[in-house]
Structure 1
Amino acid sequence: MTVAALQLKTLPHVPRRVVASGEPLHGRYAGRIDEIDWSGLQGSHSRSNLWKRFHHKRWQYVGIGSQELFIGVAIVDLGWSVTAFAYVFDRLRKRVIADWAQDGLPGLSGGVSDQPVQGAEARFRGPGASLSLVHEQGDIMALRVSTPAMSLQVEMALGQSAPFLLAVGPIEGGVAHATQKSSALPVRGWVEVDEQRWDLGQAVACLDSSNGLLARDTSWRWACAHSQRVGFNLQQGYFGGQENVLWLDGELIPLAAAHFDFNENEPLSPWRVCTEDGLLDLMFTPEGARQDDRDIFIAASYYIQPVGTFHGTVRRCADSAPMRVENLLGVTEDHRSRW
């Protein structure tokens, strides 16, 4: 690989804040930001407090994968509501064995802080359920879930990962969005479903901490998969290609626009995901999926998240030899929300 190619793939270091001189600092950065704070927006980017109350969305998502299971947990602060879900997918039986979701009132039921990682705190509490994702001493992110469907206690070591991605960009119909994402994180802990407990010491986790002033109608396709050597995050939809990146041997590499080729009527048939720069070209074979389709008049959501494996090729740059990817555990997603 040439020096010039390496320079083209080097992301700038994360800024101290996401707003400067009243403008969002659009771009992709390597590293962790302390806080995502939109209060400094001015001019055409400013909105009333009432608008922000209904359009400011924050969420924390954790995906945990092992040879036996895939676990997804999210706490979502919609401004006017707080919602959470947690599920466990059994890869051997190829089905969801625990699936829980609940809505609550902002403040009363919990919320998500503006700190995506350092000092992060996301909590949800409702009838029979308690979820928390908290940054603790020793650079540990602790996830605790207690619901009628499942219990989970996990610690994720943040300091042992490749560089985090911070992406900041414009939103059509909204103002701006920022997301902080990790590659593979070492895991310590367990999950329990129906009195059966699985040790997660061989699993890896990824974090998705997002915070934006979004449009009322938002949709996206998403793909994410991670191992200690290779991982990626792809999105097509409301955020453009801002968060498209590849992690390869600890290196964070920006990717071009992503394309998702799949049958919307048969989402458990194979998917193809690729990027316009040719650095990533993968096939995805679903093993099963979690899905939800809700319409409560003032809000609606269609969501399907297949779990499965990716195979194909990735490259550091256009001139480098392709690296073969086989049986890389991850998810895809087709999501449409009115929120």
Structure 2
Amino acid sequence: MNQVVNNNESSHSNNQLVVDGVRLHGRFAARPHDVDPLDESSKFPRALRKFRLKEWVGFTLMHPEISSSMILQDAHYLASSEIYVRDKQGLVEHSRNVRGGSLNLSHVLFPSAMAIDSKGYRIAYDWADKPEGRHRINVTVEATEDQEAITMNLELDGSNASAPLSVSSPLPGGSMYTHKLAYPASGTVTVGDRTYTFDPSRDLAVLDEHRTILPYRTTWVWGTFACNTPDGIIGANFAERPIVPGTDEESCLWTPGECEPLADITFTKTSLDPLAPWRMTSADGRLDVTFTPEDRKGVKHQLVLASIDYWQMVGTYSGTVAGYEVKDARGVCESMKARL
């Protein structure tokens, strides 16, 4: 059984997720320098465990005129990427599959460079040498017969980012490490012939990094949103999934200068309409928001030993976060039910 360690700030001086073969669990004040979960001692060979490890680094963009997400993900036997932008003209989406391990999803983030570059499809993340530095997202995806081109040139301001969410947790039949935070973003996003300018006093890019060994039967419902206010960044990341009792999970509230732990989230759909609003609340009342979807994308496959039933919706959140009011904040909500 995995050892559960309740971390505090003093325990981060080692700056590693795994120390002397023992994985640390709990909430970290900052992202450990190295987050390779395969450094943990195990009776199973590293190569075998590697093929159960799912790693991804993605961003969700917050801008009043568009919804957009992108991801680089590596299952080690296969790597892939997806990107979409939704504006008033509709949803534009592209994807690629490439060789496993080719994306260089480094366990050390600062500095690092991660990219997919394949036949008219390029997404690159470049991280400065310190968390408070200036990081970059560059995208060049060519048009296809039925999808418009997407180009992005964004700079992320690490010095004015939200406080980070950094959590290591055992899962029933697996384990999870995630790192999330919201960056003020400047630059441009172009989809087709339409260009949108990002203002760092208003617009954000929310990072989602995962290093996770998923259980064979995997389920979750997850949502996130953030907005820049005169007081600072306000937002939330919240999930409902099976957890090991007494351990930390990834839900949090972002308030100015803080990342506050959150737990016991309830997701309530208001009707059977696929685009019906959802209400998300926490048991302690600090999160009480309504998500109004604008569009929905999904994947559904049924095989003999594996299956996936996944959807993600884009839309806006309104309600309260730790006493702060939010109105029409951009965000996403997704559901996963899978046998992997």
TM class by shorter-chain length? 0.7 to 0.9
Cα contact 1:165–1:181 (8 A) shared by 2: yes
Please point out which of 191, 196, 209 is paired with 1:193. Answer: 191
Please point out which of 278, 282, 290 is paired with 1:275. Answer: 282
Please point out which of 61, 69, 77 is paired with 1:80. Answer: 77
Residue 297 (structure 1) shift: 7.0
Q: In the alignment, is residue 234 of structure 1 matched against residue 238 of structure 2?
A: yes
CA distance in 1, matches of 2:191, 2:11: 39
Residue 206 (structure 1) shift: 0.7
Find the residue that maps to 1:102 and give its secondary structure: strand
CA distance in 2, matches of 1:274, 1:238: 17
After superposition, the C-alpha distances for 1:205-227 in whole angstroms (9 at most, x for unaligned) are 11011112222332211110001
Residue 255 (structure 1) shift: 0.8
User: Which residue type is aligned with residue 20 of structure 1?
Assistant: V
Runs (4+) of structure 1 exceeding 6 A deviation are none
Partner of 2:172: 172
After superposition, the C-alpha distances for 1:57-89 in whole angstroms (9 at most, x for unaligned) are 110010111110111010001111101000001
Partner of 1:124: 116
Q: In the alignment, is residue 54 of structure 1 matched against residue 51 of structure 2?
A: yes
Aligned CA distance change for structure 1 residues 110 and 19 (closer, same or farther; 3 Å): closer
1:317-328 matches, within 5 Å, as: 322-328=323-329
1:1-339 matches, within 5 Å, as: 12=9, 15=12, 16-42=15-41, 45-90=42-87, 92-93=88-89, 95-96=90-91, 98-107=92-101, 109-115=102-108, 117-136=109-128, 139-148=133-142, 149-174=149-174, 176-183=175-182, 185-201=183-199, 202-228=202-228, 229-238=233-242, 242-262=249-269, 266-294=273-301, 300-315=307-322, 322-339=323-340
Show structure 2 runs of 5+ residues with no match: 1-6, 143-148
User: Which residue type is aligned with residue 169 of structure 1?
Assistant: S
User: Which residue type is aligned with residue 241 of structure 2?
Assistant: G
Aligned CA distance change for structure 1 residues 82 and 167 (closer, same or farther; 3 Å): same
Name the TM-score, length of structure 1 as normaliser. Answer: 0.84
CA distance in 2, matches of 1:13, 1:62: 30
Find the residue that maps to 2:48 and give its secondary structure: helix
CA distance in 2, matches of 1:200, 1:165: 24
Residue 200 (structure 1) shift: 1.9
Aligned CA distance change for structure 1 residues 264 and 302 (closer, same or farther; 3 Å): farther
After superposition, the C-alpha distances for 1:255-274 in whole angstroms (9 at most, x for unaligned) are 12212112695331011111
Number of corresponding residues: 315
Cα contact 1:14–1:30 (8 A) shared by 2: no
RMSD: 2.5
Cα contact 2:111–2:129 (8 A) shared by 1: no
Find the residue that maps to 2:281 and give its secondary structure: strand
Find the residue that maps to 2:28 and give its secondary structure: strand
Cα contact 1:62–1:74 (8 A) shared by 2: yes
User: Which residue type is aligned with residue 35 of structure 1?
Assistant: D
Aligned CA distance change for structure 1 residues 37 and 331 (closer, same or farther; 3 Å): same
Cα contact 2:185–2:204 (8 A) shared by 1: yes
After superposition, the C-alpha distances for 1:195-251 in whole angstroms (9 at most, x for unaligned) are 322222342111011112222332211110001231110011155761111011222
CA distance in 1, matches of 2:255, 2:53: 33
Specify which structure has the bigger relative contact order, considering alpha-carbon pairs within 8 angstroms and separated by 6 or more residues: 1
CA distance in 2, matches of 1:13, 1:310: 36
Aligned identity (percent) is 25
CA distance in 2, matches of 1:53, 1:88: 32
Aligned CA distance change for structure 1 residues 326 and 46 (closer, same or farther; 3 Å): farther
